[in-house]
Structure formats: structure tokens, C-alpha cells
Amino acid sequence: MSLDNGLPVEESLSKVFIAETVEQLERFTQILLIIEKKPETIATEIHELFRIAHNIKGSSGMIGLNEIKETMHSVENMFDAVRNNRQELTAVIIDELLQFTDELILYIRNGDWNRKWKGSRWNKIFNTNPEKDAIGESNAQNQQEVALVLNSDEKKAVAEWQEAGNFVYGLDVKFITEALMKSVSAMTYIGFLQNWGTIFKTAPAQEDLAKEDYGNLKIVLFADSQIDPESEQSILKYPVYDIEQVTMRRWDYHPQEPTQQVIVDSKLDQTVRVDSNKIDKLINDVGELLTIKAGLTQLVREQNYSKDSWNQLAKTVQQLEQLVSDFQMEILDLRMVPVNQLFSRFPKIVRDISRKKNKPIDINFIGGETEIDKQISERLVDPLTHIIRNAADHGIEPPEERIAKGKSETGMITMKACHEGNCIVISVIDDGHGLDVAKIREKAIKNKLINETDELRENEIIKLIFEPGFSTAEEISDISGRGVGLDVVQTSIKELKGEIDIESSPNQGTTFHLKVPLTLAIIQSFMVKVGDQVFGIPSVDVVESLSIETKEIKTIGENSVFSLRSEVVPLVDLANLFEWQDLNTDNGKISVIIVRKGRHKLALGVHELLGQEEIMIKQINKAMPENPIIAGATLLGNGQIGLVLNINQIVKESLHISLDA
């Protein structure tokens, strides 16, 4: 893959650029929305906008995205004019900036650097200094941005140099606009750079430097060894007149894939910023782990089987167990981020719908400091977007209707986050007209989801809005229909092993509660054994475990059931489910574990109940045949593989039902 400057880019560099730039642009959007709502904050907020524009300009130029760099330079100039009272940041310009930010975020998240950013339109919009531009145009011939392109032979030479264990560095030397003798400065800098290696190629070529028709100089340096940090600083800060800035990076180049595109998962951002205090804790734990390791090694080396040695071993193992537990929690904590990072995406969505529908809507946040797993946070974006759009579009009434009801003209959407045990609950609350239960029932009958004679509780009727394509909206807008897309919400939350609950009151509003695990990596699991295979059942699905006599089991049709405290519970033989031999018992008893999904209970017959454990769940190797009743795998303490059951799927298949969320 090559950038605007013709150079390849490392995948890791690309990922860092995407993560950091998107984060800055999201903050950029937040500030613009603050200024739009409270224009009096311009004086303080404009400095932060300028800083963000300046940072993105610099990082774009460093990675070689010169088109973005030039656009951000125009934005930076405009903000400089605003803070020096040469220009006003009008509502029209804020609109343009928000559109520009949306477009740029989409381009950067896509990560297709082979498709150039077209910033000419934005450059014209944000251009605030025509006199400076006129001077720039007159000097344009002497300030052309040069690109360095390697031919096939040169690419081969680069690869061979690296394969031999050597190093290749790319440098970009930027000259000041007023530079008069760039060629002299360029040759001086090239001579200095040869202290660290051989100049392989420059752009412009060294024989063309005297033409002075360039604004920058690109250099490819072949080095026998890696340049140390101190030398790198000397290279970057070497004092040469007319040179404004030097950027440098090590190449990681593969000629067999000269146009390979860096693939970046735009749905799940894998980059997490980590508090240095968290790193310090881990480093301290590693030190303690090494101490324990040394103690265990000493005990093994001495081979002393005295009582004192065994006591020391037991004490050391206990310390190890505690340390591993702490270590586990601290490592998981590295992925935790404030839920504010998730919430920050939604003010712009609400603002755009508010304008399009011509009804004032505010959005409020509670519990933004609550921490959530970064991966789960990213996977909540789509379902929460569906809910927010529905609330703003159809949940909140038009202003005249709200006034007639005695409400404030401005609708309110509140997003709230809090911890509940090992889960996080995110609630979306609107103060609109609420869900019309009678209308939902009527539409469900019309769509043949239920019969007229069916007697359903109110919460059961409300959950019908999760059926695919279900909507009570008389007019489906291009934004949303109340219910449209909520089947996607339900699917997304189920994939996260979460639950959805809805509360609604006429003319008071609707609340969606999304309850998801704090992390998907480690779960509490009840372990059971069937034959020689150990299975894990997520503890959140477990009601109880017990032993029953085989004579208590009855057969109804093709199904086995037994009575538990006057309740008939269906029984599934796990061994039979996996087409192994049926459960055989010598004492006339079998072990069962009761699981629940929604209002449905199911008993699973097993050979042995092993008890509750905390396990790390991993995906099954994709090369293995897919089995929908297996959710993942875990490595057991004895080195064997345990399989984690998908209770949702087992209940559906065993009871032949479609489960509610």
C-alpha cells in the first residue's frame, strides 16, 4: 500500500493513526456542538479546536496523507482567524465543519489510503486568508510537494537490504516558505545524514536540487544497524537554516505485495489508551510473580519432602493463586474505558434528527464515568444508535403536541450507565408519548404474530416490537420507524450474552434497559461432566443443581419431564444431545442442573456436577465443524479443553420455541 507520498506504511502505524485521529475528530464534534448550543463558549473552546486541527495536520503529514494535511491546515488557519477576531464562527460554518468531520471520520475509518481524500471543496470553504493565498500561489512553483516513488528494481534492492538484517529509514525534510537557498540546506543535511548510513535515493534527485522548485526533500537511508533514540533526535533536530521540520520513520516493506491494502476493522477499534498507573500495577505484579517462581524453583531443586517444605509449598501456591487472580483483574482492567467514550457519539445524531424533524431535543448523560470493556462498548454502538434514532424520531412528540400536554417544548433523551453485579446496564430514557400497547397488539394480530384470542401480559406485548420489520409508525421515515431495526438490537444484545428490558408509560415516555456483561473474556461458569468431557454453563443461566431419582422422570410424547416443587420441568440428557451414550446410573439417581432463559426452564442431565469456576472463554478453531450449541472453549487446570454451552440455543432446540430477549 502506498500513500500520497508514494511510500509504504506500516500496518501498526496506520492503526494508531486511525484510532487517534478518530478520537480527536469525535472530540472536535463535541466541542462544535457545545459552541452551537452556547455561543458564549467560543472564546475558550476555539483554542482546543485549533489544537486538534493542528495535531491532525501534523500526524496526517507524518503518515503521508498530504491531502488531509492541507485541508486541516485550512481549518487551522480559519480557527486562528476566529481567535484573533478576524472572522466569526457562524452557525453556517459550524454546520459545514460538522459535515466535514462526518466525512473525514468515515474516510479515515475506512482506511483505504489508495483512495485519495478529496479536500479541495473543504479547502475553499475554510479558506480565510486570500492575501496569503495569493502570495502562496506566486511562490507555488518553488513550494511543490514532491513524492518519492520506487521502481521495481529499487523495491527489490530495499527488500534485499532488509532481508540481510539491515535497516531502511524514510525521511521527509520540510523547508520554510521563505527559503532562498534550499539546495545548499539540502546538501548540508544529506552530508550530515551520511554519518548513519548510505543515501539510497532522494526526491528530488540530488542532481536536481539546484532547481529550487520543491517545498520538501524525501530521503531513503540504508543503515547497517538500527538508529538509537539519541541519534534519531540528533537527526530530527540538526540545525540547518531554511529547514522547518524533519520527520523520520523506519520502513517495513514487502515488495511481493506492493499495493497491499492495510485491513482495519472499522467496527471494532482495537486500540485502547492505558493509564500509566495500571501499567505500574502490572509491572509490580510481574516482580512478585518472579519472586514466587524463584521460591517454587528452590523447593523443586532441594527435593526436600519434609513437613516444613510442604507447608512452604502450600503457602507459596496460595500466594500464587492470589497473585494470578489480581493479575487477571488488572489485565482485564486495561481494556476498560469510561462509558463517556460511547455516549459521545450520540449528541450529533440527536442534533441532526432534531433539525430535520424541526423539534427541539436535548440529550443528557448520567454515569459517564462508569467503566466498560472497550470491545463491548464498540459493539453497543449500533444497537444504541437504533434506539436513540427511534426515540428522537418517533418517541419524542412535536413541540406543539408537547405543549398541549403540559410538557416542556424541548424533548429530553437521557442515557444512563451503572454497574449491576458483573454486568453493566445502559438505559435510554425518553420523555415522549410512550409505547401504545393496544396499537402494538393490533398490529401483531394483523401481522399474524399472535391470535386475537391470545392473552398476553403487557410486557409480552411490548416485546413484540423486536419482531423483524415490526412497526406501529403510521409513516416510516428515512430516519426510523418506532420498532424498525429493533430486531437488529435484540440480535446484537444476544450476541453479547445480554438482555433487554423495556418500561413504558403513556405520555411519560419509554425506557430501554440494555444489560450486558462487563467483559466477554472471563465468565463465571458452573462446570459439569458428561462422560470424559467437561462442559461449562454460564452461571447467569443457572437456577440450581440437584440430584433426582430416575423413577421421577416421566415421558410425555417424545419428551422427558419431572416434577420439581409442583412445577413440571423438561429434562434433556446432555449425553444424548451430543449423540453419545445415554446417562447410565447404578444407584438409580442422576445429577441435573436447572437453567433458565426468559420464563422458560430446562433441566440438563449430566454425569457429574463439578461446581462453579471462573473461566476464560475462547472461540472454537474456525477449522472445526460449527456446532450452534457450543459457545466457546476454555483451557482447564489439568490441560484438557472444556466446552462452554450456548444455553440459549439448547433451550430453543429442546423446547422448539423462539425466545424473547
* Predicted pLDDT at 163: 85
d(CA 526, CA 545): 10
Question: From CA 585, how far away is CA 610, in angstroms rounded?
Answer: 17
pLDDT of residue 276: 64
pLDDT surpasses 50 at 267: no
User: Average pLDDT, stretch 441-470?
Assistant: 84
Q: Using the predicted structure, report yes or no on whether residue 10 has a pLDDT greater than 80.
A: no
- pLDDT over threshold 80, residue 129: no
Task: Report, as an integer, the average pLDDT of 11-29.
Answer: 83
Lookup result for grid cell 524533519 = 246
Lowest mean pLDDT among 33-47, 67-81, 326-340, 573-587: 573-587
**Weakest mean pLDDT among 242-246, 498-502, 604-608:** 242-246
Whether the predicted pLDDT of 376 surpasses 60: yes
> Alpha-carbon distance 342 to 428, whole Å?
13
Q: Give per-residue pLDDT as tens, 192-230.
A: 999 999 999 999 988 888 888 888 899 999 998 899 888
Task: Give Cβ neighbours of residue 633 (< 8 Å, ≥ 6 apart).
Answer: 617, 618, 619, 620, 641, 642, 643, 644
For 207, what's the count of Cα atoms within 13 Å in the CB-facing half-sphere?
Answer: 0
Whole-number pLDDT of residue 481? 45
pLDDT digits 0-9 by tens, 526-546? 999 998 899 999 888 899 999
- Comparison of pLDDT for 384 and 486, the residue scoring more: 384
Cell numbers at 588, concatenated: 438409580
Given a cut of 50, is residue 649 above it in pLDDT?
Answer: yes
pLDDT above 90 as % of the chain: 29
Range picked from 13-27, 61-75, 504-518 for highest mean pLDDT: 504-518
Q: How confident is the model at residue 550 (pLDDT cuts 50, 70, 90)?
A: confident
Dihedral angle of Cα 557, 563, 567, 572, to the nearest 10 degrees: -60
> Averaging pLDDT over each range in 101-110, 343-352, 651-660, which range is the top one?
343-352
Asked whether the predicted pLDDT for residue 608 surpasses 50, the reply is yes
Higher pLDDT, residue 116 or 12? 116
403-441 pLDDT, tens per residue?
999 999 999 999 999 998 778 999 999 999 999 888 988
Once rounded to an integer, what is the mean pLDDT over residues 571-590? 78
Specify the pTM. Answer: 0.60
C-alpha cell recorded at residue 568: 413440571
Stretch 566-592: mean pLDDT, rounded? 81
Q: What is the average per-residue pLDDT within 153-176?
A: 88
277 pLDDT above the threshold of 80: no
Q: Say if residue 483's pLDDT is above 50.
A: no
121 or 101: which leads in pLDDT: 101
Is it true that the peptide bond before 625 is cis, omega within 30 degrees of 0?
no
Cα separation, 387 vs 416, whole angstroms: 13
Give the span between the Cα atoms of 581 and 577, in whole angstroms.
10
Q: State the pLDDT confidence band at 576, using cuts at 50, 70 and 90.
A: confident
Mean pLDDT of 66-79: 90
265 vs 43 pLDDT, higher one: 43
Collect contacts of 472-475 with beta carbons under 8 A, ≥24 apart. 472/435, 472/436, 472/439, 472/440, 472/443, 473/394
- Average pLDDT for residues 103-124, to the nearest whole number? 80
| CATH class (in words) of the domain with range 522-655 | mainly beta
CA-based nearest residue to 615, from 640, 651, 578, 595: 640
CATH class of 152-250: alpha beta
Write down the pLDDT at residue 485: 58
pLDDT, residue 317, reads 79
User: Within 139-264, where are the H helices?
Assistant: 152-163, 182-193, 229-236
259 pLDDT band, cuts 50/70/90, is very low
- Per-residue pLDDT, 255: 45
CA dihedral 285, 368, 392, 403 (to 10 degrees): 160
> Model confidence at 625, in pLDDT bands (50, 70, 90)?
low
Q: pLDDT band for position 618 (50/70/90)?
A: confident
User: Looking at domain 338-517, which of 3.60.130.10, 3.30.450.40, 3.30.565.10, 3.40.50.720 is its CATH number?
Assistant: 3.30.565.10
Do the beta carbons of residue 634 and residue 437 sit within 8 Å?
Answer: no
CB under 8 A, 24+ apart: contacts of 520-524: 520/373, 520/375, 520/376, 520/496, 520/617, 521/332, 521/373, 521/616, 521/617, 522/328, 522/332, 522/614, 522/615, 522/616, 522/617, 523/497, 523/614, 523/615, 523/617, 523/644, 524/422, 524/612, 524/613, 524/614
The reported pLDDT for the residue numbered 411 is 96
| Set of cell numbers at residue 104 | 473525514
Q: Which of 74-88, 201-215, 626-640 has the highest mean pLDDT?
A: 74-88
* Structure confidence at residue 284 as a pLDDT band (50, 70, 90): confident
Please report, for residues 147, 268, 456, 611, the alpha-carbon distance to residue 109 in angstroms, rounded to integers and kept in the order given: 24, 10, 45, 45
**Rounded to 5 degrees, what are φ and ψ at 593?**
-125, 125
**pLDDT at site 484:** 43
**Dihedral through CA 641, CA 629, CA 266, CA 149, nearest 10?**
60
Q: What is the pLDDT of residue 258?
A: 37
**pLDDT reading at 261 higher than 50:** no
Q: Indicate the fold that domain 11-138 takes in CATH.
A: Four Helix Bundle (Hemerythrin (Met), subunit A) (1.20.120)
- Model confidence at 265, pLDDT cuts 50, 70, 90, reads very low
Averaged pLDDT, 592-606: 89
Domain ranges in the chain are 11-138, 152-250, 276-332, 338-517, 522-655
Highest mean pLDDT: which of 134-138, 320-324, 339-343, 479-483?
339-343
Over 60: is that where the pLDDT of 595 sits? yes
C-beta separation of 51 from 74 below 8 A: no
pLDDT band at 50 (very low <50, low <70, confident <90, very high): very high
Residues near 78 by beta carbon (within 8 Å), at least 6 away in sequence? 87, 93, 126, 127, 128
Write down the mean pLDDT value for the chain.
82
Angle at 612 between CA 608 and CA 613, to 5 degrees: 115
Q: Is pLDDT of 395 > 50?
A: yes
